């Protein structure tokens, strides 16, 4: 196996490891964000905004809007929308 193939393989492995590391950090930051939202009471603001969005649009659009604005996961945004239905 030529050295160029070996070095390419090592670079791919290193990039894959780096991507997995970033995904884990991202998940940890999302969990911390949710914890802080609940602790600061901003979670209630999210619920009231979800209720307003639901009055004018669909459930899917409300979930999408909450995810974009607050950085919530799909499951968390869905829980918020379901709690105000």
Mean pLDDT of 56-68: 93
Domain ranges of the chain: 3-84
- The whole-number pLDDT of residue 16 equals 97
State residue 54's pLDDT score.
92
Q: Dig out the tokens for 38 from the structure.
A: 């609940």
Is the pTM for the entire model greater than 0.75? no
Q: What pLDDT score does 7 carry?
A: 93
SS3 of 36-84: the string is HHHHHCHHHHHHHHHHHHHHHCCHHHHHHHHHHHHCCCHHHHHHHHHHH
**6-52 pLDDT, tens digit each:** 999 999 999 999 999 999 999 998 888 878 877 877 778 888 999 99
| Mean pLDDT of the region 58-67 | 93
């Amino acid at each position: 196996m030529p050295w160029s193939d070996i070095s390419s393989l090592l670079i791919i492995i290193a990039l894959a490891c780096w991507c997995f590391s970033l995904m884990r950090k991202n998940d940890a930051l999302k969990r911390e964000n949710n914890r802080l939202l609940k602790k600061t009471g901003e979670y209630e603001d999210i619920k009231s905004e979800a209720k307003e969005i639901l009055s004018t649009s669909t459930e899917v659009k409300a979930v999408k809007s909450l995810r974009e604005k607050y950085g919530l996961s799909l499951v968390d945004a869905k829980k918020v929308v379901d709690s105000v239905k």
